[in-house]
Amino acid sequence: MSGLPAPARRAGTGTGDPGRRGLPRPVVPLAVAGLALLLLPLAGLVARTPLRTVPEILADPAVGEALRLSLLSSLAALVLATVLGLPLALLFARADFPGKSLLRALAVLPMVLPPVVGGVGLLLAFGRRGIVGGPLAQATGIVIPFTPVAVVLAATFVAMPFLVVTVESGLRLLDRRYEDAATTLGAGPWTTFRRVTLPLIWPSLAAGMALCWARALGEFGATITFAGNLSGRTQTMPLAVYVELQRNPEAAYLLSLLLLAVSVAVLVALRDRFLGGR
């Protein structure tokens, strides 16, 4: 993650750079085409969303439910990912144990795994006949898949690695002598973590949480596979967008625009990291 900002910053300092004179001829038209591909869908969303009908669409119970469920489940996923991901990042950054690099690679795999594959995996682990879900259902009668809990688990599964990776890089960049200083002043491990480490890595943690939440909010593949698409129960915003597109396109446009707004807000909040502070 930390590798992204630097090149982005460099690319932004183009004016007056003597190196720019030597650009090969096809670069500009191809770059413009690339930009168009990225920007036209956004323009379409903004242009075609019927803002007049907003109250009407939001009054639709299916839309309202999807919105509520998305917010609650993504926030729950964020809390779960933070509570579990922060210790995991600490372990990866600070501890040494056999097989660490392999475990670390597996733990961040969901970042590049097709989400639908993640959903199948979740079913096989926590499903009614899964390796954990089976015994759990037998012992307690609790069934996870196709419930709101499954929505949260699916979102956490795909989103937590973003938090882990970001926080871990923050921990690695931290000057550990601050912690030494706290220790010589009589601070135990918990006090040192709470009053020194945590404030010092806060920018990384905040960035990780923002990325994690954005990813959780947009989760589709793992959710539909593991939690289904039950309106009012497991149908989150992205699923609702997909469904509404057939039924009521204008609602789909509005929901899409909402999700777009959230993404832009996250990007703005992280502007120092991803937009080079410009």
Partner 1 sequence: MSLHAHVVADVGALHLDVRLHAAAGEVVAVLGPNGAGKTTLLRALAGLVPLSAGRVVLDGRVLEDPATASRRTAEDRDVGFVFQDHLLFPNLSVLDNVAFGLRCRGVRKGRAREIAAAWIGRVELASLAQARPGALSGGQAQRVALARALACSPALLLLDEPLAALDVQARQSMRRLLRRHLDAFGGPCVIVTHQPLEAIALADRLVIVEQGVVVQDGAAAEVARRPRSRWVARLVGLNLYRGTARDHTVALEGGGSLRTADAAGGEVFATVHPRAVALHPEAPRGSPRNAWRGTVAEIDLHGDHVRVHVEGPIPIVAEITPAGLADLSLSEGQPTWVSVKASAVDLFPR
- Tell me the per-residue interface mask from 51 to 70 with partner 1, x by CB under 8 A, - otherwise: --------------------
Residue 188 binds to partner 1 (criterion: CB under 8 A) = yes
Inter-helix orientation angle 198-217/148-173, to 10°: 140
Instruction: Report how far residue 248's alpha carbon sits from residue 245's, in angstroms, rounded to the nearest whole number.
Output: 6
- Interface residue with partner 1 among 191, 194, 265, 272 (CB under 8 A) is 191
Instruction: Report how far residue 198's alpha carbon sits from residue 191's, in angstroms, rounded to the nearest whole number.
Output: 10
179 or 250: CB nearest partner 1:
179
101 or 184: CB nearest partner 1:
184
Mark the segment that binds partner 1 (CB under 8 A) among 144-152, 160-168, 177-185, 259-267.
Answer: 177-185
Instruction: Report how far residue 241's alpha carbon sits from residue 172's, in angstroms, rounded to the nearest whole number.
Output: 40
For residue 231, give the nearest of 69, 58, 56 by alpha carbon.
69
Which three-class secondary structure state does DSSP give residue 61? helix
For residue 236, give the nearest of 74, 79, 69 by alpha carbon.
69
| Least Å from the CB of residue 153 to partner 1 | 34
Instruction: Report how far residue 194's alpha carbon sits from residue 219's, in angstroms, rounded to the nearest whole number.
Output: 32
Residue 277 binds to partner 1 (criterion: CB under 8 A) = no
- Tell me the per-residue interface mask from 137 to 176 with partner 1, x by CB under 8 A, - otherwise: --------------------------------------x-
For residue 130, give the nearest of 230, 225, 231 by alpha carbon.
225
User: What tokens does 32 get?
Assistant: 């413009």
| Least Å from the CB of residue 183 to partner 1 | 4
Instruction: Report how far residue 155's alpha carbon sits from residue 138's, in angstroms, rounded to the nearest whole number.
Output: 25
40 or 181: CB nearest partner 1:
181
Residue 278 binds to partner 1 (criterion: CB under 8 A) = no
- Interface residue with partner 1 among 15, 101, 140, 184 (CB under 8 A) is 184
Residue 272 binds to partner 1 (criterion: CB under 8 A) = no
- Interface residue with partner 1 among 132, 185, 264, 265 (CB under 8 A) is 185
199 or 232: CB nearest partner 1:
199
Distance of CA 57 to CAs 64, 83, 194, 230, 245, Å?
9, 36, 45, 19, 13
Residues engaged in binding partner 1 (CB under 8 A): 175, 177-178, 180-188, 191, 195-196, 199-200, 202
